[in-house]
Chains A and B, each alone.
Chain A
Amino acid sequence: MSTTLTPAPKKTNRIGLEVLSYKGGKTTLCAGCGHNSVSERLIEVFYEMGIEPWKVAKFSGIGCSSKSPAYFLNLAHGFNSVHGRMPAVATGAVLANRGIMGVGVTGDGDTASIGLGQFMHLLRRNLPLVYVIENNGVYGLTKGQFSATADLNSKMKTGVVNDLPPFDCCALALEWGATFVARTFSGDKKQLAAILKAAVSHNGLSVIDVISPCVTFNDHEGSTKSYSYMKDHEEPLHEIDFVPHFEDISVEIAEGEVQDVRMHDGSTLRLRKLDKSYNPTEKFDALGALNEAEKKGEVLTGVLYVNTEKPNFLDMLNMDDAPLATLPQSRVRPPKAALDELMEELR
């Protein structure tokens, strides 16, 4: 559990920055919107992890959710792009500048409808990126239409009933080759923060589906993405402790059944099992558990799947260690002899 493992927030973090350096602009989202809680957790997580904010780049599509990069980490570059196509922008930026730590924020409309294709291909490429889906089952910004993650038979505020089955972004991510998949709830501060920290430590794409209620259009009786529905139906898979690489893991003595996952940066994701048969490094366990939960009408939360072995997109492209953006001319313009040789071949 992050808050007990990390020393109580002092005035500055391990790189000497105050939490203020991680804040964003004032939110313009509705009071009580789940998305605001996610922004708060992101501030807290980057502060506690001691990451230089100017190394982070924030990406989003279009939606209330996609506005939120303006509300955390003002000292990080941000790019609010076009609807559903943040994956492409993030891909280009990370290729251009591999030193950045990418964080994408998207909505269920942005990812599961207009951007579904880009989401699939992002997974296929395993781009190093934290990909947060703020999932409220509706299009908030266009005033409350159903999205493709709305549950069958769930009700719109006007009483209209959704007659199409939902896409489960976690199940789809697993099918399409994800290397880190988690589901959580914006109201579950501890779990959300621990998962975000693990995602930040993951060397590849981490997909986090955060049920993030829309208080204005989808928080009523009959909604399956409301605060009260989540309070009644959230079913955590495990309790999560995250021990960052810069802390001594031996301090904490684990009790009960515990599974440790060693993350790329040396951090440890410690999962205290609530269900003995579950192994988060097994894709089919994850799919099975999601399937089971769906049958029982539960919303399963926690780290569903982690694979720390699969190469990321930058590895696959065999790219230079230096960021492409700042390579000097001498490394990107071949010498005259190369042109002469090419010309000779064409004579």
Chain B
Amino acid sequence: MSTLEVSPAEPRSSESARRIINDFTIQVATVNGSGSQTANSVLMRSIFQMGIPVSGKNMFPSNIAGLPTWFTIRASRHGYIGRKKEVDFLIAMNPETAREDVMTLPPGAAVIYDEPLKLNSLRSDLHFYPAPFDKLVAPVCPEAKLRKLVRNMLYDGIIAFLLGIDMEEIRKALVKQFGQRKAKAATLNFGACQAGYDFAASNLPKTDPFSVERMNETAGKIIIDGNSAAAMGCMFAGVTVVTWYPITPSSSLVETLIGSLKRHRVDKETGKATYAVVQAEDELASIGMAIGAGWGGARSMTSTAGPGISLMSEFVGLGYYAEIPTVLFNVQRVGPSTGLPTRTAQGDLLSTALLSHGDTKHPMLFPCSPEECFSMAGEAFDLAERFQTPVFVMLDLDLGMNNWMSDAFEYPTKPLERGKVLSAEDLKRLGGFARYKDVDGDGVGYRTLPNTNHPGAAYFTRGSGHNEKAGYSEREDDYVNNMERLNRKFESIRGASLRPAVDTHPAAKIGLVYAGTSRYAVEESRDQIRKEYGIETSSLRLRAFPFTHELVDFIKGHDRVYVVDQNRDAQLLALMRLEFDPREIAKLHSIRYFGGLPLDARTISDEIVRQEGL
């Protein structure tokens, strides 16, 4: 390859001496639809297989093909898996964004790029590694129409050489990716990868400081996205009716679930399904079906994102008033209509908590990881049936669609909690029942299912106007009593609510409160504040709404509490305002990020430093 014009920047001597091991971020800049997904997940997986904590985040446009997309892989020996703003290693495959991508790199970063882009002339403080992708791919991929896809594997090979990733791990990751049935595809891709590796080995002298070294931090762990984890959780929670309408970022939850159900929930003997999945005509219908199914006795669910939640509003209110169990997954994304629907946010907290008209409020669960997506899915069905009400599981795009390193899921041992349902035998014994009577003092009445073989089983379901026996009523006292009972029920839900994860430091005056994926940025930020300013902090990760006394105690125990929100209007803080008294509220301060990317630690640290006047 002596004809190549290889021109890496002169490494600065200090940098070549300094080695940075297992602590860097790689960013792959490509064009949407160019098939880089395989190369990116194989790269991530091979680092993971070397025992190094790793996370991957896809920043993609709302587009099928043609617009720029970035995939970042962060390796962190400290176990930080939140987003890091600075990119250390850029793989510039998109001519459109290459210039800007290069210009925003911090000094000392490295760039692998397609040679014709001639990026090395842009800056002198970076490590440039040009490679002639088109020339390299032709000999390893004779079939011209596959080249666009296979080409991406070249950069895996190049970076494998530069970082010291074991090629055997890449081969294993490819086999995993393609499975036994597509062994040929794995071989073809590995060939390209090897070509990239060989080219780099003989043409690209390493000048950057980054490298990997084997660790033992990922043994037994899995890589999975939150949506797939939630889907698995639903299947093991015995879901029976699934209704949905496609929407990013929630579609893959149901799509994965459909695959799992086909595999594990079709009776081997009869060939019949123990579930029903309906792709509805819209979210007005998908929630209506889920509510109808919950009423009919199924473990029902639907999955959507903000726009769907808005459409579901009326039905969810009916579900609350008529006391019908169902589970809704809200994989949150940025705002309405076109623009940033493929970017992450936690912007539906307030609207979901109070969704619908009249006095309505709903339990929500906030998973932060695939494990919690799995376990909370089960929790949600139990809560819904136990308390006869719609329950929301609040993911966000970052959690739902990105790949996460996770502990393996634990098989649920708790039996399914089907709630207070009277059978024909119960009715025979009791002589009858009053649907909305608070027999047990927990605000939860007994219900019956249609098709219960007893003349006393039936009751009539409607919205706001009914008495204890489910008879039609517009009486003031009936309405008030019923609404008070619903409040008692909400307090019972609070009693059963998942407790927050609390980490208090005895010396800490500052506390951080947050939910869901904010976890990773907050944990790293607390380390930054400790290391850089010698200040200890406490933290409380909310796992559910309604909030429990632990949160009040936490606020009482600290001078200032920063509530971290991934939205503009401090919605998590606003929810706390609804529930607490002014003394506690006065201690609350807000840290907000709403730019559409996964939250990063530095953003939080900078805000704490600013507001604390450090």
Using a CB–CB cutoff of 8 Å, the interface residues on chain A facing chain B are 21, 25, 52-55, 57, 59, 69-70, 74-82, 85, 87-97, 99-100, 117-118, 120-121, 317-321, 323-327, 329, 331-334, 336, 338-340, 342-343, 346-347
Check B295 against A347 for contact (C-beta < 8 Å). Answer: no
B318 interface contact, C-beta 8 A: yes
List 10 A-B pairs, Cβ < 8 Å. Answer: A70-B460, A80-B460, A85-B285, A117-B282, A320-B274, A325-B296, A329-B415, A333-B238, A338-B264, A346-B224
Check A82 against B292 for contact (C-beta < 8 Å). Answer: no
B520 interface contact, C-beta 8 A: no
Complex: how many Å from CA A100 to CA B278?
Answer: 19
Contact segment of B94-102, B106-114, B131-139, B404-412: B404-412
Complex: how many Å from CA A111 to CA B114?
Answer: 59
Residues on A with beta carbons closer than 8 Å to the beta carbon of B462 = 79-80
Complex: how many Å from CA A148 to CA B458?
Answer: 34
Residues on A with beta carbons closer than 8 Å to the beta carbon of B415 = 329
Check B272 against A319 for contact (C-beta < 8 Å). Answer: yes
Residues on A with beta carbons closer than 8 Å to the beta carbon of B291 = 81, 88-89, 92
Expressed in whole angstroms, the minimum distance between the Cβ of A20 and any Cβ of chain B is: 11
Check B452 against A79 for contact (C-beta < 8 Å). Answer: no
Check B235 against A334 for contact (C-beta < 8 Å). Answer: yes
Complex: how many Å from CA A317 to CA B275?
Answer: 9
Expressed in whole angstroms, the minimum distance between the Cβ of B557 and any Cβ of chain A is: 39
Check A78 against B461 for contact (C-beta < 8 Å). Answer: yes
B459 interface contact, C-beta 8 A: yes
Residues on A with beta carbons closer than 8 Å to the beta carbon of B235 = 334
Expressed in whole angstroms, the minimum distance between the Cβ of B222 and any Cβ of chain A is: 4
- Determine which of B298, B409, B450, B453 lies in contact with A343 in the assembled complex, contact meaning CB atoms within 8 Å: B409
Check A97 against B296 for contact (C-beta < 8 Å). Answer: yes
Check A121 against B265 for contact (C-beta < 8 Å). Answer: no
List CB contacts (< 8 Å) of B448-464 with chain A: 448-455, 457-463
Check B296 against A93 for contact (C-beta < 8 Å). Answer: yes
B496 interface contact, C-beta 8 A: no
Residues on A with beta carbons closer than 8 Å to the beta carbon of B455 = 21, 53-54, 75
Asked if A324 meets B452 with Cβ closer than 8 Å, knowing A93-B292, A100-B296, A334-B235, the reply is no
B512 interface contact, C-beta 8 A: no
Check B278 against A91 for contact (C-beta < 8 Å). Answer: yes
Q: Which of A81, A92, A338, A346 has the most CB of B within 10 A?
A: A92
Check B296 against A94 for contact (C-beta < 8 Å). Answer: yes
Residues on A with beta carbons closer than 8 Å to the beta carbon of B450 = 54, 57, 76-77, 93, 97, 100
Q: Which of B232, B293, B415, B463 has the most CB of A within 10 A?
A: B293
Complex: how many Å from CA A325 to CA B452?
Answer: 11
Check B451 against A100 for contact (C-beta < 8 Å). Answer: yes
Complex: how many Å from CA A70 to CA B472?
Answer: 9
List CB contacts (< 8 Å) of B232-259 with chain A: 232, 235-241, 243
Residues on B with beta carbons closer than 8 Å to the beta carbon of A120 = 281
Check A79 against B461 for contact (C-beta < 8 Å). Answer: yes
B271 interface contact, C-beta 8 A: yes
Check B458 against A346 for contact (C-beta < 8 Å). Answer: no
Complex: how many Å from CA A97 to CA B240?
Answer: 11
Asked if A118 meets B281 with Cβ closer than 8 Å, knowing A94-B296, A332-B299, the reply is yes
> Which 7 pairs of residues, A with B, have the shortest CB-CB distance?
A88-B288, A92-B292, A325-B297, A96-B296, A96-B298, A332-B238, A92-B293
Residues on A with beta carbons closer than 8 Å to the beta carbon of B494 = none
Complex: how many Å from CA A57 to CA B471?
Answer: 17
Residues on A with beta carbons closer than 8 Å to the beta carbon of B275 = 319, 324, 332
Expressed in whole angstroms, the minimum distance between the Cβ of B603 and any Cβ of chain A is: 31
- Determine which of B221, B273, B296, B412 lies in contact with A318 in the assembled complex, contact meaning CB atoms within 8 Å: B273
Considering the complex, give the chain B residue whose CB is closest to the CB of A70. Answer: B460
Considering the complex, give the chain A residue whose CB is closest to the CB of B322. Answer: A79
Considering the complex, give the chain B residue whose CB is closest to the CB of A125. Answer: B278
Check B289 against A88 for contact (C-beta < 8 Å). Answer: yes
Considering the complex, give the chain B residue whose CB is closest to the CB of A98. Answer: B451
Residues on A with beta carbons closer than 8 Å to the beta carbon of B478 = none
Complex: how many Å from CA A93 to CA B241?
Answer: 10
Residues on A with beta carbons closer than 8 Å to the beta carbon of B220 = 347
Check B281 against A76 for contact (C-beta < 8 Å). Answer: no
Complex: how many Å from CA A257 to CA B408?
Answer: 72
Asked if A333 meets B451 with Cβ closer than 8 Å, knowing A320-B273, A346-B222, the reply is no
Residues on A with beta carbons closer than 8 Å to the beta carbon of B373 = none
Complex: how many Å from CA A117 to CA B288?
Answer: 13
B163 interface contact, C-beta 8 A: no
Check B274 against A326 for contact (C-beta < 8 Å). Answer: no
Check A54 against B297 for contact (C-beta < 8 Å). Answer: no
Check B241 against A96 for contact (C-beta < 8 Å). Answer: yes
Asked if A118 meets B453 with Cβ closer than 8 Å, knowing A25-B472, A91-B289, the reply is no
Complex: how many Å from CA A331 to CA B273?
Answer: 10
- Determine which of B289, B292, B294, B411 lies in contact with A336 in the assembled complex, contact meaning CB atoms within 8 Å: B411
B223 interface contact, C-beta 8 A: yes
B183 interface contact, C-beta 8 A: no
Considering the complex, give the chain B residue whose CB is closest to the CB of A342. Answer: B232
Considering the complex, give the chain B residue whose CB is closest to the CB of A89. Answer: B292
Check A117 against B281 for contact (C-beta < 8 Å). Answer: yes
Asked if A54 meets B288 with Cβ closer than 8 Å, knowing A324-B274, A324-B275, the reply is no
Check B452 against A54 for contact (C-beta < 8 Å). Answer: yes
- Determine which of A77, A118, A334 lies in contact with B459 in the assembled complex, contact meaning CB atoms within 8 Å: A77
Expressed in whole angstroms, the minimum distance between the Cβ of A81 and any Cβ of chain B is: 7
Complex: how many Å from CA A82 to CA B240?
Answer: 23
Residues on B with beta carbons closer than 8 Å to the beta carbon of A90 = 292
Residues on A with beta carbons closer than 8 Å to the beta carbon of B416 = 329, 332-333
Considering the complex, give the chain A residue whose CB is closest to the CB of B449. Answer: A325
Asked if A82 meets B288 with Cβ closer than 8 Å, knowing A21-B455, A95-B276, A100-B450, the reply is yes
